[in-house]
Amino acid sequence: MRLNGKVALVFGAGPNIGGTIAHFLAREGARVAVSDLNLAVAEKTAAFICDRGFEAAALAGDAVVEADVARLVAETVARYGRIDCIVNMAGKIHWSPVVDMDLAAWTETLLSYPTAGMLTTKHAARAMIAAGTRGSIIHLLSTAAHFGEAAGAAYTAAKAALLNLARSAAMDLAHDGIRVNTITPCAMEHQLWTKMSDELETGYSAPPRRSFYSRDDYLKAIPLERFPRASDLAWAAVFLASDESSFITGADIPVDGGLRFKYPAWTPGDYTGVNIESYAAETSVTEYGEPVRKLRP
C-alpha cells in the first residue's frame, strides 16, 4: 500500500501500458481515474481493477483538447476529493521516412504527444497548487525521445519535445513541490510484435519502413536480454507516484534493460570471432592519415 490515500488520473487506458499502470497504482492503494479517448477502453480497464477489489472510475476525454483535460481533472477531484498524481501517455504515432512525410500526419503526431503533455501537466498542476498538494506528474516517453529512428522522424521529434517539456515543467513547478518525471521504455514485449515481427511469423506483412530492425536484432541489443513488460513500467510509475521518490524531479527513468546506456557498437552475445583487440592488432597505425607501421606483422 505504497500509495495509500492518494488519487491518480491516467491519460490513455489501453490494456497494455496505461491499463497496467492504472492497475498497479490501484493495487498500491491509490484511487484511480482512468481516462481514454475511447470510453469503452476506459470502462474495461476500470472494470478489471474494480473486479479485483480496488478503486477505479472510467472517464472519457481527449488529452489534446484543453476543455477535455480540464474536465477530466475536475471530474477526478469531484469524485475523489483530490489529485496527487497523473500519468500521461496519450498521442498518435505516424511512421514515415522524412522524404515521404505527409504534413497532416506529421502535424498530428507533433501536436499530440507534447500537447497532451503540456495540457495534462498544466491542469493537474493547477488542481494540485489550488489544494496545496505536493503531487507527482509522470509522462511516458520512448527510446524514440533519445535516438534517431528510421521512419520515425515524427515520433522521435514528438517524444523528444515531451522530454524537454517535462524537464521544463519540473523547473516551473519545483517551488510548488510538484514533481515532473518521465519513464522511457524501449519496444515492449507484447503487442508490438504482433504488428512488427520478423518475416518468419505467419500472417506477417512487412511494415512499410526502410532500415527497420527485426525482433531478433532488437533483442540482441538489450543487455538484460528481454523486452520490457508493462509491469516493469508500472513499478517505475508506482515509485514515481509515491513519496519514495519525493526528492526526484526532472528525471527520466529508463526501463530498457540497459539499452540506452550500453556502448552503441556492442551487441551482447553477438560475436563473429573477431574482437576489437584482434582487429586492432591486424590494423596499421597511422599518423597524419598515413600508415606508419602494422601493429602486429
Ligand X SMILES: NC(=O)c1ccc[n+]([C@@H]2O[C@H](COP(=O)([O-])OP(=O)(O)OC[C@H]3O[C@@H](n4cnc5c(N)ncnc54)[C@H](O)[C@@H]3O)[C@@H](O)[C@H]2O)c1
Q: Whole-number minimum distance, CB 210 to ligand X, in Å?
A: 20
Query: Among residues 125 and 188, whose Cβ is nearest to ligand X?
Result: 188
- For residue 25, give the nearest of 87, 115, 99, 94 by alpha carbon: 87
Are 106 and 155 in contact by the 8 Å Cβ rule? The answer is no
Give SS3 for 223.
coil
Q: Whole-number minimum distance, CB 221 to ligand X, in Å?
A: 15
Neighbours of 287 (CB within 10 A): 8
Q: What is the DSSP string of 243-280?
A: GGGTT--S-EEEESTTTTTS-TT--TT---S--HHHHH
Query: Among residues 115 and 249, whose Cβ is nearest to ligand X?
Result: 115
**C-alpha distance from residue 106 to each of 101, 110, 119 (Å):** 7, 6, 20
Q: Whole-number minimum distance, CB 4 to ligand X, in Å?
A: 26
> How many angstroms separate the CA atoms of 231 and 237, rounded?
10
155 noted as active-site residue: yes
- For residue 167, give the nearest of 158, 155, 180 by alpha carbon: 180
Q: Whole-number minimum distance, CB 72 to ligand X, in Å?
A: 9
**Residue with cell string 493537474:** 124
> How many angstroms separate the CA atoms of 170 and 168, rounded?
5
Catalytic residue (choose from 155, 218, 263, 271): 155
Q: Whole-number minimum distance, CB 81 to ligand X, in Å?
A: 24
Side chain identity at residue 145, one-letter code: A
Are 59 and 75 in contact by the 8 Å Cβ rule? The answer is yes
Residues that bind ligand X (CB under 6 A): 11-14, 16-18, 36-38, 41, 62-64, 89-92, 112, 116, 140, 142, 185, 187-188, 191-192
> How many angstroms separate the CA atoms of 84 and 178, rounded?
9
Active-site residues, by number, are 155
